[in-house]
């Protein structure tokens, strides 16, 4: 599975690079064996990671009013966010929510860089806090892993790799099933697991597919997801500016680099120990400045702080700071760019909040039945045939009736329309009858109202067609 390293990643000179750190001159993958890190940031990230992992795994089993708390059923276009049901009829809300979310990401990134990648992104959390930890446990620290990787396939290597990949697959299977549970619901996933495979060929195939994808990502792709695939990472170049706070090396304080071993240290604080480089999971040297590959994982901060403590110098040679902050000694967050983005975000949030707040429990869509104009009835009334869709956006069935408030008009539903099942769209047809003397023109506007007892749930109007001679 692993590529054998052609040469050590760390043999390279510290010159500024114009190529990705994990690919050699011939385009071949250079495998990274980061050293273990310890320190305040790593510890904080570890605690946060366990909380987020717990939330992710518990999420599909949470219920609100008997329904999943979160569901992203793209197959049936049925979504539940924090217990609120969203249906295809809410597509405009979905689009607006996506635009708002992108705006939030833009604002957040302008201020805090890739903070999300290092602390919250599931890829980083699972890679660094689960799969990497298992690797350390089985194969040892970075240098031992490199040694094992270059060793011939003897009993030790075969055993370690077999155990490692078996555990990797097991965890990938758990992640894959959780992912599936967010799409089809935890009950459906449990059914697939408990019942014979032949009853759920599609579901079982989806399980294997998701597990295989996650295994491939965490066993092989790894940092390539962050450095070459993730679109958010690619956006950094346009989002970051000199005031963005990122994991940064204080070149003012650190340069010129000098070896501590050379009696009295007269240069900068960086002793060129390369510990920051050895722990980096994307294989970069943060001293070359902010780079697209940096996921802000903070490993280099902890590694450098550890060195600074050992050589009796202040910590924070690598820290969260902006380029301008390093040059001037003070951070400026409230820039004109941040103000403009904040204003836009507040506007978008206000519109979204208003639309969500005024969103009804039931949505009625009415369309004239294609190919039908109007009918003249023996009793002198004119009738029009319509198709309707009624979406119940709640978790409970609703008892309803359809009425019209247009004078003289009557409604006749084809079949029955009493109960709207929870979170479903009911479809049907109905006639509207209007006496000839009530026709205003070739088109007459007719009101349609959906009632729950005495409460109006929603109302709309539709055009009623009649012969032009009755104007
Ligand atoms: S860990 Fe700190 S001192 Fe060592 S090379 Fe990196 S920046 Fe310099
Ligand atoms: S440069 Fe530092 S923060 Fe960035 S990915 Fe490497 S170790 Fe993590």
Checking if the pLDDT of 266 tops 50, the result is yes
CA distances from 128 to 131, 135, 445 (A): 6, 10, 63
Partners of 26 in the β-ladder: none
Residue 311 CA: which ligand is closest?
Answer: 1
- What is the pLDDT confidence band of residue 176, given thresholds at 50, 70 and 90? very high
**Which pLDDT score, from 0 to 100, does residue 17 have?**
54
Measured by CA distance, the residue closest to atom 5 of ligand 2 is: 294
CA 170 – ligand 2 centroid, Å: 28
Q: What is the pLDDT of residues 79-126, one digit of tens each?
A: 888 888 888 888 899 899 999 999 999 999 999 998 999 999 999 999
DSSP secondary structure letters along 140-160:
-SHHHHHHHHHS-S-HHHHHH
Q: Is the CB of 304 under 6 A from ligand 1?
A: yes
Q: Is the CB of 127 under 6 A from ligand 2?
A: no
Partners of 236 in the β-ladder: none
User: Mean of the pLDDT values across residues 214-239?
Assistant: 91
Domains present along the chain, CATH in parentheses: 1-359 (no CATH), 362-470 (2.60.40.10)
CA 364 – ligand 1 centroid, Å: 64
CA distances from 22 to 1, 8, 30, 405 (A): 16, 11, 5, 70
- What is the pLDDT confidence band of residue 1, given thresholds at 50, 70 and 90? very low
Q: Is the CB of 290 under 6 A from ligand 2?
A: no
User: By the 8 A CB rule, do 300 and 281 touch?
Assistant: no
Q: Is the CB of 275 under 6 A from ligand 2?
A: no
User: Mean of the pLDDT values across residues 241-246?
Assistant: 92
Checking if the pLDDT of 470 tops 80, the result is no
Pocket test for ligand 2, best of 9, 14, 284 (most atoms within 8 A of CB): 284
**Strand ranges in 401-454 using DSSP code E only, listed in sequence order:** 401-403, 410-414, 419-420, 425-435, 443-452
Residues whose CB is less than 8 angstroms from the CB of residue 193 and which lie 6 or more positions away in sequence, other chains included = 177
**Strand ranges in 136-252 using DSSP code E only, listed in sequence order:** 246-249
Looking at the CA of residue 247, tell me the nearest atom of ligand 2: 3
CA 224 – ligand 1 centroid, Å: 25
CA distance 115 to 109: 8
CA distance 218 to 280: 17
User: By the 8 A CB rule, do 131 and 218 touch?
Assistant: yes
CA 261 – ligand 1 centroid, Å: 14
32 half-sphere exposure, CB direction, 13 A CA radius = 24
CA distance 286 to 293: 10
Q: Which one of 301-315, 372-386, 413-427 scores highest in mean pLDDT?
A: 301-315
User: Mean of the pLDDT values across residues 363-368?
Assistant: 92
Measured by CA distance, the residue closest to atom 4 of ligand 1 is: 273
Which candidate, 274, 251, 307, 306, places its Cα nearest to that of 9?
Answer: 274
Which single residue is written with the structure tokens 């919250």? Answer: 120
CA 276 – ligand 1 centroid, Å: 6
Q: What is the pLDDT of residues 247-265, one digit of tens each?
A: 999 999 998 888 775 555 6
Pocket test for ligand 2, best of 226, 247, 277, 292 (most atoms within 8 A of CB): 247
Measured by CA distance, the residue closest to atom 2 of ligand 2 is: 300
User: By the 8 A CB rule, do 80 and 86 touch?
Assistant: yes
Measured by CA distance, the residue closest to atom 7 of ligand 2 is: 280
Enter the pTM of the model: 0.83
**DSSP for residue 28:** P
Q: Is 440 helix (H, G, I), strand (E, B) or coil?
A: coil
Task: Compute, in degrees rounded to 10, the torsion defined by CA atoms 127, 131, 135, 137.
Answer: 120
Pocket test for ligand 2, best of 228, 276, 300, 320 (most atoms within 8 A of CB): 300
Measured by CA distance, the residue closest to atom 7 of ligand 1 is: 270
Q: Is 307 helix (H, G, I), strand (E, B) or coil?
A: helix
**Which pLDDT score, from 0 to 100, does residue 138 have?**
97
Q: Is the CB of 465 under 6 A from ligand 1?
A: no
**Which pLDDT score, from 0 to 100, does residue 330 have?**
81
User: Mean of the pLDDT values across residues 338-351?
Assistant: 95
Q: Is the CB of 273 under 6 A from ligand 1?
A: yes
Which burial class, exposed, middle or buried, applies to 466 when counting CB atoms under 10 A from its CB (0-12, 13-18, 19+)? Answer: buried
CA 142 – ligand 1 centroid, Å: 18
Quote the percentage of the chain above a pLDDT of 70.
94
Residue 298 CA: which ligand is closest?
Answer: 2
Q: Is 447 helix (H, G, I), strand (E, B) or coil?
A: strand
Which candidate, 100, 135, 71, places its Cα nearest to that of 347?
Answer: 100
Checking if the pLDDT of 3 tops 50, the result is no
Q: Is the CB of 303 under 6 A from ligand 1?
A: yes
**DSSP for residue 186:** H
CA distances from 67 to 82, 321, 377 (A): 10, 44, 47
User: Mean of the pLDDT values across residues 157-178?
Assistant: 97
DSSP β-ladder status, 84-86 and 78-81: antiparallel
Between residues 418 and 38, the one the model is more confident about? 38
Summary mean pLDDT of the chain: 89
């Amino acid at each position: 599975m692993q590529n054998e390293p052609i040469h050590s990643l760390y043999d390279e000179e510290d010159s500024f690079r114009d190529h990705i750190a994990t690919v050699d001159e011939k385009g071949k993958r250079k495998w990274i064996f980061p050293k273990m890190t310890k320190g305040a940031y790593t510890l904080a990230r570890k605690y946060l990671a366990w909380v987020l992992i717990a939330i992710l795994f518990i999420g599909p089993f949470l219920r609100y009013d008997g329904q999943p708390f979160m569901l992203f059923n793209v197959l049936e276009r049925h979504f539940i966010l924090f217990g609120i049901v969203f249906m295809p009829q809410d597509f405009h809300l979905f689009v607006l929510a996506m635009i708002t979310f992108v705006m939030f990401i833009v604002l957040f990134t302008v201020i805090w860089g890739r903070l999300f990648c290092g602390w919250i992104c599931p890829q980083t959390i699972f890679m660094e806090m689960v799969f990497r930890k298992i690797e350390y446990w089985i194969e040892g620290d970075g240098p031992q892993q490199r040694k094992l990787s270059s060793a011939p396939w003897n009993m030790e290597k075969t055993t370690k790799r077999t155990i490692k990949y078996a555990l990797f697959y097991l965890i990938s299977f758990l992640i894959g099933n959780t992912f599936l549970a967010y799409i089809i619901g935890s009950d459906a996933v449990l059914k697939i697991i408990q019942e014979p495979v032949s009853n759920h060929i599609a579901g079982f195939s989806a399980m294997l597919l998701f597990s295989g994808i996650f295994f491939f990502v965490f066993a092989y792709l790894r940092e390539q997801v962050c450095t070459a695939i993730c679109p958010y990472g690619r956006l950094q170049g346009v989002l970051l500016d000199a005031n963005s706070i990122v994991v940064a090396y204080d070149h003012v304080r650190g340069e010129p680099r000098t070896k501590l071993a050379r009696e009295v240290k007269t240069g900068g604080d960086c002793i060129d120990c390369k510990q920051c480089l050895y722990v980096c999971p994307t294989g970069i040297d943060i001293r070359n400045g902010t780079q697209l590959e940096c996921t802000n994982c903070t490993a280099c901060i902890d590694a450098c702080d550890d060195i600074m403590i050992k050589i009796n110098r202040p910590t924070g040679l690598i820290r969260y700071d902006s380029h301008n902050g390093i040059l001037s000694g003070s951070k400026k967050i409230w820039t004109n760019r941040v103000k403009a983005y904040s204003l836009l975000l507040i506007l978008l949030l206000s519109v979204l909040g208003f639309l969500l707040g005024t969103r009804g429990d039931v949505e009625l869509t009415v369309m004239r039945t294609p190919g039908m104009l109007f009918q003249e009835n023996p009793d002198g009334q004119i009738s029009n045939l319509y198709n309707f869709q009624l979406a119940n956006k709640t978790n409970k069935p609703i008892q309803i009736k359809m009425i019209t408030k247009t004078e003289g008009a009557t409604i006749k539903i084809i079949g029955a329309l009493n109960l709207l099942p929870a979170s479903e769209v009911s479809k049907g047809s109905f006639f509207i009858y209007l006496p000839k003397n009530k026709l205003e023109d070739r088109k007459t506007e007719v009101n349609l109202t959906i009632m729950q007892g005495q409460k109006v749930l929603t109302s709309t109007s539709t055009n009623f067609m009649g012969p032009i001679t009755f104007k």
